[in-house]
Structure 1
């Protein structure tokens, strides 16, 4: 299950945001070496965790095991404000283009094939379902170059926006990916599961958060 929550609803779902901030710190600081993000309390958040962001949580047995964040490109975002050197020319900006950031999966849930875990493929299905239901068909992602090919294998049209550069201990390339029905069909075939994965909570929808009893 992928739960989508507006950043404006953080106070309504503190357990989701607490768990995801610790997962983000574990992955991006401890594993990837983004030392500028290190905090003594082991929680990672930044200036883009505001009311304009949309957060996706992959939940298993009441625990957040995967996460990604969507940012509108019509506002300051990671590519335009933090890593402009990853883009040759002006970064894309449109209501139909959002930026996917902080994609991560807990180490114990990194199973799967072709480098895509079960939780990871569910997150991918979740952002495509969310985009298709929200009038969004393009996403910018800063990821390792190998993911360009993997995206194309899942029927994303992938277009690098610049050259790869080292960030932390990884080589990163900013890429714009376009998706549609062909993409979600390919993702569901890859997963071997064709049911929708996305639930909208809080002001994004009317779902009742019964699955996360705390």
Structure 2
């Protein structure tokens, strides 16, 4: 299931977050070669991993992190305008109804081959829509390979490029704003073949019970 980790419950996920940062390092630094993100402790953490970040953790039955992505509010400085402004023609979108979705990665053990969308990645995307809609969030910004745009449209997310693609680290990347609604959630559930929630119930720690 997908666990939503915020500043409020971060203490309940210390071990899982450590796994997530190490997964990010394996994927983005060691596999994709983004050497500017390398750290001696092999935990990929940047300036946006602050108290405003929302971490989506896909955990298996052993509590191992098999997938990860991060949401950032666009009412504050976020990655697109601060790090990749060349991908956006005009002002970067912002608003309480928009988040930035990034650092998307799946552990080696959970990867699949073929054209079918990876189940872990699909669950992470479903989590954004399922978690976001009740909170008034109706779209996300993401920097992604251009080939992903068609996939978003097939999932009934209304994806619109924010600028022309640029080659980054050897791959053609485009910034997209993808709007979603209840139809998007139904399509995501249809693709998953399961209408049950992907969101894990909130954890209640001993410390919070004691308080």
TM-score past 0.5 threshold: yes
Q: Which residue in 1 is equivalent to 2:89? A: 88
User: Normalising to structure 2: TM-score of the pair?
Assistant: 0.92
**How far is 1:100 from its partner?**
0.4
Conservation of the 8 A alpha-carbon contact between 1:7 and 1:52: yes
Deviations 1:148-184 (A, max 9, x none): 0000000000000011112223221100000011101
Paired position in structure 2 for 1:33:
33
- More relative contact order, 1 or 2 (CA 8 Å, 6+ apart): 1
**1:62-77 mapped onto 2 (5 Å cutoff):** 62-77=63-78
For 1:13-162, what aligned pairs fall within 5 Å after superposition? 13-61=13-61, 62-111=63-112, 114-162=115-163
- Give CA deviations for 1:51-102 in whole Å, capped at 9, x if unaligned: 1111100011210000011000010100011101110000001110110010
RMSD in angstroms over aligned alpha carbons?
Answer: 1.6
Aligned residue number for residue 204 of structure 2: 208
Q: Tell me, yes or no, if the aligned pair for 1:8 and 1:50 is still in contact at 8 Å.
A: no
1:191/1:45 Cα in 2 relative to 1: closer, same or farther (>3 Å)? Answer: same
Partner Cα separation in structure 2 for residue 152 and residue 34 of structure 1: 28
8 Å contact 2:12–2:205 — kept in the other structure?
no
Structure 1 alignment gaps of length 5 or more:
202-206
Distance 1:23 1:142, change over 3 A: same
Q: Displacement, 1:134?
A: 1.3
